[in-house]
Amino acid sequence: MHIEISGLSKTFRGGYKALDKIDLNIAPGEMVALIGASGSGKSTLLRHISGLLSADGSVNHIKIGTQTVQSGGVIDRSVRAVRAEVGFIFQQFNLVGRLPVLTNVLSGGLARIPLWRSCFMQFTASERALGLAALARVGIAEHAYKRASALSGGQQQRAAIARTIVQRARIILADEPIASLDPESARRVMQTLSDLNREDGTTVVVSLHQVDMALRFCARTIALSRGRIVYDGPSAALTGAMLRELYGAEAEEILHSHVAPIGAPVFTPSQASGDMSSFAAAA
């Protein structure tokens, strides 16, 4: 699904301007990385796209497909229908730790079942089969009946992705989904998002601190600084030198120790719909 944003600004109490006149278009089926130092506006932007925050003023507009999310600083009355198409993945997974993994995953489909069943978490055999298939797809079907709290961080995040599969989300917004994960778990989560993008045509917008992951998995990168877009283009063209020029002293926070070294595999625009297996093998 297409995402269209125009004139988006957001000012919080105390006068802090988190977003400043954002104009942005994301085409159906794109996988886009949002990068930037802490406080650059990444999370705020994602929350506006999903209709969780309302914007400033009267000139802003956000649409997903043909549906309006918000306009003129007012969230549209039909936003619940829009949200049904949008899966949101949080840094801290947002699973109910005491419930089985399968139950957490099946909660992605609550909007499509009768209210009385959703209140009591009653699922049919076909719904459970769908949940198990989603867990198999993200590689953790064997953990379906464990408490969610028993899983590792990477496994919990893949369960959260499985929940968006059950939801049948056409857009996935992922807010720092690998920030608290070890490198191998982070790679698996990004690979899972990439597989959904490539195989299902799901539009994915993922905010990242890890620039090497943006280079590896996303054809397009949008860089934010102090609430403004300072770069929007091919990930392959985003070099360490450019990041330092754009961010100055803030660059080291998002670069960590390095951007992907010269000669490392990166995701180029020509590979936007191609096979990701070479990147998985190289990781």
Residue 224 pLDDT > 90: yes
Please tell us whether the domain made up of 3-85+172-282 is placed in CATH 3.40.50.300: yes
- Provide the pLDDT for residue 222: 95
Residue range 1-23: average pLDDT?
Answer: 93
Residue 269 pLDDT > 70: no
- Provide the pLDDT for residue 80: 87
Beta strands in the chain (DSSP E): 3-11, 17-26, 31-35, 61-64, 67-71, 74-75, 86-89, 171-175, 203-208, 220-225, 228-234
Report the helix count and the strand count for the chain, using DSSP H and E: 11, 11
Domain definitions of the chain by residue range: 3-85+172-282, 95-169
Residue range 248-265: average pLDDT?
Answer: 52
- Interval 87-105: pLDDT, tens: 999 988 889 999 999 999 9
Residue 258 pLDDT > 50: no
- Provide the pLDDT for residue 255: 63
CB of 54 closer than 8 Å to CB of 75: yes
- Provide the pLDDT for residue 177: 95
Residue 174 Cα distances to 58, 128, 190, 199, 275, angstroms: 28, 25, 10, 18, 22
Which pair of tokens denotes residue 178? 């690998």
Residue 263 pLDDT > 60: no
- Interval 137-165: pLDDT, tens: 999 999 999 999 999 999 999 999 999 99
Residue 109 pLDDT > 50: yes
- Interval 190-203: pLDDT, tens: 999 999 999 999 99
pTM of the shown model: 0.85
CB of 91 closer than 8 Å to CB of 38: no
